[in-house]
Every structure is written in structure tokens, then in C-alpha cells.
């Protein structure tokens, strides 16, 4: 089975999918779009379902955001008594009629399982997704909602809308990431896969192939090239070089006879000099016991920081590298002919004569 690592527009829009090389690219794109839209659908259900379990169904669109207590007080109307599971929504979007605790727990568990199945962590676990598996989680969420609200949800509730039908591609924030199976495009290796071709026409006939493909809308052009290293690796590299650059002379050890640790690039020290300040500094005129051998002078060696070394290499415009062995264009010829590095009398001791 060919393993596809499919990526979308956002970082979390990625999943694994298994197929064969004999499948048509057009059929493959339709299957990938179905899984992509199902993942988005389950993620929306997770977000709206948690609010449903906590604060009940949504109010009508014309009443969302209004505080019933303030409105009733202003109108001089007494509100009817509320149930034991009433939880007021601080945003004013939901009516506060939450389900009983056991039904809310069942609903939250179904939502958590669905969100886990649609998470990008499935890629890290190397688990391929299927449409059947995602539809099973969708049915479990639908059953949990029916247990919590046997009378059903209002038609304007987003949970009911996601359970009954999928969102259509649109310019809204919800529909911006949804793809159309008829117009979606699949890109691999910087080239678009032609819908009329077989998958084997692009990736070969090996069934053990793994590719990283990009799924996107029509008209988006070639996908942007990904960074060679991840953001975590970039942060680790920057921290490593900053740590090396920030080394100070305060870590000098008196047992370091030759000051190669945290060396000072100012040059060499004079005999008898010391890097340690104060009364502990070495003085050749200070009387010492005969059992203590005189300390040798400290020599500080100049070592370049990696960043300073790179700057020095960039500023070096000399062509002295042409005298190196690796820059010799006739090195391979001399190696097989056996005349490399040969001195010939009478030619001034020239070596490497051809």
C-alpha cells in the first residue's frame, strides 16, 4: 500500500492515508477531500459540543448575546423557575439548559474520542485514517447528543447543523478551509497530479512508496516550499550558538595552566601574569615555600568563535585556496597515471609536473 502524508493549508491539517498505485488521481483526490472535510467537521463538533454540554442549546439568532435577567427586570416580568441543571452562559449565546451530569459526561467522552481521531497526532503515531473510522466517531457523537437531548436541538444550533450535513465551501471563517472534491488539487514534488492519470504514473509502481503531498483549492498555484528544519530544531540551534558565544572568562580555572578554556583573543599574556584578580593573583616576587614549585606563566590561546570564524571566511576574498590539493583540476589524472607529487631534476624542483 502506498502511504500518503497529506498536508493542508494549516499546520494541523495533515493526516496519513493508504491507497494503491492503481487508483486514479481523480478518485484519490475525492477520497482525500472527504477525509479532510470530515476531520474539520469533527473538530467543529468538539468545539461546539463542549459548549453544548456545559450551557445547553443555542438561543435564536436574534436573542443571542442578551441577558434574560436584565431584560426581564427592565420589562418588569418574572421569569419561570429554572431546572436543577441550569448553568448560565456568560457569553449569552446559549440558554443555559444543560443536560444531566451523566449525559454530559457521555457527550464529552464521545467528543474527546472524535477529536483524538481527527488530530494531527495520528501522524506522529503513524496511523492512517479511513472514512469509515471517522464516520463511526460522528455516529457516536450523534447518539450522545440524542441521549442528552431526546427532544432534539433547534435548527439554528451549530451542533445539529454539523451532524445533519457538512458545511459547504464558502468565504466564511468556517467554510474557508473546506475543499470541493470537484475542484481540489493534489501536488507532489512541486508538480500537480493530473486527475486523468493513475497514481503509478507519478510515483511509480512500487506499493511500498511513501510521499508527502499537498491538498489545496484550485487556483492556489504551487505550494510553498517547506523549511528544511522544524521551528523546534531552529530554536535549539540558535540556543546552542548563543550559549557558545556567551561564554565568559569568569569560568577560568586555576588548574588550567594553559588558558585554552574560554581563551582570550587579545593575544598572549606576559610571564607571571594571571587572569585571577585580587590577592590570589600570581606575583613572581611573593615568597613561596620550597615545597611549592613556581608556577609557570599562563599562555592564552586565541580561538575563534564559530560565528566569528564564519565572518572571517566571508570576508576572505583571496584566491589562496587554488593552491590546495582539492582545487587541483588534474588530481584524478595524476592519481591514475602515478605522476602526482613527482620531483623532476632540472626543473627547479617543481612537484606535480604533468
Q: Kindly state the average pLDDT of the residues 267-288.
A: 47
Percent of the chain with pLDDT over 70: 76
Question: Which pLDDT does position 175 carry in this prediction?
Answer: 77
Residue 27 backbone dihedrals phi, psi, to 5 degrees: -65, -35
CA distance 252 to 260: 9
Question: Which pLDDT does position 247 carry in this prediction?
Answer: 55
CA distance 306 to 313: 11
Per DSSP, the residues of 71-94 read HHHHHT-PPPPPPTTB---TTSSB
Question: Which pLDDT does position 268 carry in this prediction?
Answer: 43
Query: How far lies 332's CA from each of 71, 92, 186, 302, 340, in Å?
Result: 92, 80, 46, 37, 9
pLDDT tens-place string over residues 103-137: 999 999 999 999 999 999 999 999 999 999 999 99
Is the model's pLDDT at 260 over the cut of 60? no
pLDDT band at 5 (very low <50, low <70, confident <90, very high): very high
Question: Which pLDDT does position 341 carry in this prediction?
Answer: 63
Q: Kindly state the average pLDDT of the residues 221-231.
A: 80
CA distance 76 to 207: 74
**Residue 334 or residue 139, greater confidence:** 139
Work out the mean pLDDT of the chain and round it to a whole number: 79
Question: Which pLDDT does position 270 carry in this prediction?
Answer: 42
Question: Which pLDDT does position 202 carry in this prediction?
Answer: 92
Q: Kindly state the average pLDDT of the residues 134-163.
A: 92
- Please tell me the pTM assigned to this model: 0.66
Is the model's pLDDT at 241 over the cut of 90? no
Domain ranges of the chain: 2-216, 232-247+254-317, 326-354
Question: Which pLDDT does position 79 carry in this prediction?
Answer: 72
Query: What proportions of the chain, in percent to the nearest 5, are helix, strand and coil?
Result: 40, 10, 50
Q: Kindly state the average pLDDT of the residues 281-290.
A: 50
**Residue 178 or residue 244, greater confidence:** 178
Question: Which pLDDT does position 343 carry in this prediction?
Answer: 58
Please, is 172 exposed, middle or buried when counting C-beta atoms within 10 Å of its C-beta (0-12, 13-18, 19+)? exposed
Question: Which pLDDT does position 222 carry in this prediction?
Answer: 82
pLDDT tens-place string over residues 8-31: 888 888 999 999 999 999 999 999
Q: Kindly state the average pLDDT of the residues 169-197.
A: 86
Question: Which pLDDT does position 249 carry in this prediction?
Answer: 41
In contact, 49 and 41? CB cutoff 8 Å: no
Question: Which pLDDT does position 352 carry in this prediction?
Answer: 47
Percent of the chain with pLDDT over 90: 40
pLDDT tens-place string over residues 46-95: 999 999 999 999 988 888 888 777 777 777 777 777 778 888 888 888 88
Alpha helices in the chain (DSSP H): 25-55, 68-75, 101-117, 121-124, 131-148, 158-164, 200-203, 231-245, 306-315, 331-337
Question: Which pLDDT does position 101 carry in this prediction?
Answer: 93
pLDDT band at 267 (very low <50, low <70, confident <90, very high): very low
CA distance 303 to 261: 9
CA distance 332 to 83: 91
Range with lowest mean pLDDT among 40-49, 59-68, 195-204: 59-68
For helices 25-55 and 131-148, the axis angle rounded to 10 degrees is 20
Amino acid at each position: 500500500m502506498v502511504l500518503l502524508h497529506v498536508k493542508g493549508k494549516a499546520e494541523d491539517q495533515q493526516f496519513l492515508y493508504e491507497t494503491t498505485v492503481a487508483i486514479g488521481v481523480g478518485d484519490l483526490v475525492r477520497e482525500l477531500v472527504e477525509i479532510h472535510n470530515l476531520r474539520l467537521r469533527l473538530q467543529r463538533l468538539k468545539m461546539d459540543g463542549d459548549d453544548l454540554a456545559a450551557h445547553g442549546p443555542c438561543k435564536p439568532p436574534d436573542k443571542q448575546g442578551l441577558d434574560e435577567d436584565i431584560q426581564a427586570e427592565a420589562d418588569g416580568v418574572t421569569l419561570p423557575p429554572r431546572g436543577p441543571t441550569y448553568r448560565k452562559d456568560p457569553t449569552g449565546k446559549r440558554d443555559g439548559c444543560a443536560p444531566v451530569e451523566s449525559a454530559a459526561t457521555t457527550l464529552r467522552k464521545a467528543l474527546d474520542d472524535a477529536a483524538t481521531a481527527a488530530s494531527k497526532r495520528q501522524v506522529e503515531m503513524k496511523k492512517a485514517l479511513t472514512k469509515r473510522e471517522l464516520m463511526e466517531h460522528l455516529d457516536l457523537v450523534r447518539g450522545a447528543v440524542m441521549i442528552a437531548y431526546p427532544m432534539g436541538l433547534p435548527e439554528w444550533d451549530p451542533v445539529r447543523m454539523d451532524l445533519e450535513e457538512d458545511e459547504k465551501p464558502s468565504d466564511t471563517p468556517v467554510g474557508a478551509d473546506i475543499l470541493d472534491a470537484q475542484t481540489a488539487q493534489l501536488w507532489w514534488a512541486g508538480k500537480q497530479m493530473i486527475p486523468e492519470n493513475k497514481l503509478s504514473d507519478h510515483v511509480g509502481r512500487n506499493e511500498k512508496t511513501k510521499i508527502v503531498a499537498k491538498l489545496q483549492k484550485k487556483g492556489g498555484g504551487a505550494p510553498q516550499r517547506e523549511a528544511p528544519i522544524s521551528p523546534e530544531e531552529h530554536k535549539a540551534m540558535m540556543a546552542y550558538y548563543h550559549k557558545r558565544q556567551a561564554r565568559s572568562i569568569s569560568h577560568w580555572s586555576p588548574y588550567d595552566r594553559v588558558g585554552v578554556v574560554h581563551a582570550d583573543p587579545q593575544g598572549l599574556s606576559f610571564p607571571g601574569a594571571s587572569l585571577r584578580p585580587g590577592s590570589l593573583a600570581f606575583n613572581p616576587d611573593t615568597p613561596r615555600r620550597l615545597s611549592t614549585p613556581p608556577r609557570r606563566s599562563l599562555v592564552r590561546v586565541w580561538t575563534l568563535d564559530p560565528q566569528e570564524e564564519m565572518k572571517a571566511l566571508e570576508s576572505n576574498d583571496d584566491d589562496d585556496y587554488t593552491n590546495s590539493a582539492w582545487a587541483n583540476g588534474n588530481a584524478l589524472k595524476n592519481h591514475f597515471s602515478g605522476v602526482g607529487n613527482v620531483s623532476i631534476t632540472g626543473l627547479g624542483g617543481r612537484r606535480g609536473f604533468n
